[in-house]
């Protein structure tokens, strides 16, 4: 893949500048640096290979040349969107989930609150949104998305905190990597028109895995059990405890697991 070829493939989406690199430590890190130059909205950075891809808390994200899709999109959230900034990761997750649906998987495409995309209960995509601030003003948002396409995209099982899979094992025929990228970007741009309305939230909620099931919410060593009863309008996870008490957990700070997975 060459930069010009990729830009041509994505031509109809009216993106900003498109940059392609054979190898980068992390597309998010480079996109955050790029933000200081104020690139156009929907400027895109794609890497064939990431050597230091990361998720939250600098946890490592495994990506392999030829097998992984790794990219970061530059977004300038409006004031209304800034009020619900963490929900951008839900927007990205829904864009990925809808893209996978269009390739007609035989297995369910779900979202593990708030933003992990699951195929048949296994994680096939990770999303990390990182904001850049100038004093207390938002300079921009980097939406980083990784998708496991081929078998080599999977890390060793011992590195996984949650079961993982790749599109090659779940979709027949497996879609072409750049077609997946095109679908995700098209969906992201389309969904942004209804973001963050109740319609958007209902589409995201309809995909949530483990809803109405017993789950454990972890924040570091602190674990809380209950029934995942729904989400608040700001995306918070609502947990119903045996005592009848309802707790709200904010996006970004905690991890969700089904109760019987520990
Ligand atoms: P949580 O499930 O606790 O909410 P998370 O899904 O948001 O966490 P991060 O904390 O962002 O995940 O960290 C990424 C995690 O994804 C790593 O800890 C690792 O277990 C897992 N991982 C790394 N590479 C891959 C991959 N290619 N496919 C699936 N999972 C991966
Ligand atoms: C997660 O698993 O929750 C987050 C993983 C995010 C990985 C993507 S790959 C493209 C971008 N660059 C990174 O370093 N991280 C994100």
Using a 6 Å cutoff on CB, does residue 223 contact ligand 1? no
- Residue having the nearest C-alpha atom to atom 11 of ligand 1: 55
Of 86-95, 106-115, 144-153, 192-201, which range is least confident?
106-115
Of 12-21, 68-77, 166-175, which range is least confident?
166-175
Residue 123 is predicted with a pLDDT of 97
**Average confidence score pLDDT of the chain:** 95
Crossing angle of the two packed helices 88-101 and 177-191, in degrees rounded to 10: 130
| Pocket residue to mutate for ligand 2, from 30, 54, 123, 252, most atoms within 8 A of Cβ | 54
pLDDT at 262 over 70: no
The structural domains of the chain, with segments of one domain joined by +, span 3-205, 214-261
- How many whole angstroms separate alpha carbon 43 and alpha carbon 76? 10
Residue 2 is predicted with a pLDDT of 86
User: How close is the Cα of 246 to the center of ligand 2, in Å?
Assistant: 31
User: Above pLDDT 70, what percent of the chain?
Assistant: 99
- Residue having the nearest C-alpha atom to atom 9 of ligand 2: 146
Nearest to 160 by CA among 64, 62, 67: 62
| Pocket residue to mutate for ligand 2, from 44, 46, 61, most atoms within 8 A of Cβ | 61
Average pLDDT over residues 138-142: 97
Residue 253 is predicted with a pLDDT of 75
Per-residue pLDDT band for 104 (boundaries 50, 70, 90) equals confident
User: How close is the Cα of 164 to the center of ligand 1, in Å?
Assistant: 9
Using a 6 Å cutoff on CB, does residue 30 contact ligand 2? no
Question: Please, which residues have CB within 8 angstroms of residue 2's CB and are 6 or more apart in sequence?
Answer: 20
Residue 261 is predicted with a pLDDT of 57
Task: Give 103's Cβ-side CA count (13 Å radius).
Answer: 25
SS3 content of the chain, % helix, strand, coil (to 5): 30, 35, 35
| 71 alpha carbon, closest ligand | 2
Index of the ligand 1 atom closest to the CA of residue 162: 20
User: How close is the Cα of 191 to the center of ligand 1, in Å?
Assistant: 24
- Residue having the nearest C-alpha atom to atom 19 of ligand 1: 160
Nearest to 17 by CA among 25, 1, 28, 37: 37
Average pLDDT over residues 90-118: 94
From its phi and psi, is residue 135 left (phi > 0), alpha (psi between -120 and 50) or beta?
left
Residue 235 is predicted with a pLDDT of 94
User: Above pLDDT 90, what percent of the chain?
Assistant: 90
User: How close is the Cα of 33 to the center of ligand 1, in Å?
Assistant: 23
Nearest to 11 by CA among 190, 182, 187: 182
pLDDT at 92 over 70: yes
Residue 86 is predicted with a pLDDT of 94
Q: What topology is assigned to 214-261 in CATH? A: SH3 type barrels. (2.30.30)
Residue 58 is predicted with a pLDDT of 83
Using a 6 Å cutoff on CB, does residue 118 contact ligand 2? no
Q: Distances in Å between the alpha carbon of 13 and those of 3, 141, 185, 188, 196? A: 16, 19, 8, 11, 21
Q: Is the pTM of this model over 0.85?
A: yes
Report which of residues 34 and 220 the model is more confident about: 34
Residue range 3-205 in CATH 3.30.479.30: no
Nearest to 122 by CA among 93, 148, 90, 95: 148
pLDDT tens for each residue of 204-253: 999 999 999 999 999 989 999 999 999 999 999 999 999 999 999 999 87
259 preceded by cis ω (within 30°)? no
- Residue having the nearest C-alpha atom to atom 13 of ligand 2: 53
Using a 6 Å cutoff on CB, does residue 1 contact ligand 1? no
Average pLDDT over residues 113-120: 95
pLDDT at 106 over 90: no
Q: Tokens at residue 57, please?
A: 């808390």
């Amino acid at each position: 893949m060459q930069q010009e070829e990729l830009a041509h493939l994505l031509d109809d989406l009216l993106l900003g500048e498109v940059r392609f690199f054979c190898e980068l430590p992390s597309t998010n890190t480079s996109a955050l640096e790029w933000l200081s130059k104020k690139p156009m909205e929907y400027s895109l950075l794609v890497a064939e290979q990431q050597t230091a891809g990361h998720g939250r808390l600098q946890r490592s994200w495994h990506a392999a040349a030829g097998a992984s899709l790794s990219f970061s999109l530059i977004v300038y959230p409006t004031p209304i969107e800034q009020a619900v900034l963490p929900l951008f990761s839900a927007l990205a997750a829904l864009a990925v989930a809808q893209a996978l649906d269009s390739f007609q998987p035989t297995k369910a495409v779900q979202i593990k609150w708030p933003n992990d995309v699951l195929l048949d209960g296994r994680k096939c995509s990770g999303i990390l949104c990182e904001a850049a601030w100038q004093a207390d003003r938002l300079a921009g948002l980097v939406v980083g998305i990784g998708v496991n396409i081929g078998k080599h995209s999977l890390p060793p099982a011992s590195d996984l905190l949650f079961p993982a899979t790749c599109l090659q094992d779940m979709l027949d025929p497996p879609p072409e990597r750049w077609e997946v990228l095109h679908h995700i970007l098209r969906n992201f741009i389309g969904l942004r028109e209804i973001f963050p309305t109740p319609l958007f939230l209902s589409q995201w909620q309809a995909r949530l895995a483990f809803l109405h099931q017993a789950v454990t919410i972890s924040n570091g060593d602190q674990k809380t059990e209950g029934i995942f009863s729904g989400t608040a309008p700001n995306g918070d996870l609502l947990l119903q405890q045996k005592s009848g008490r309802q707790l709200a957990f904010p996006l970004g700070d905690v991890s969700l697991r089904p109760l019987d997975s520990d």
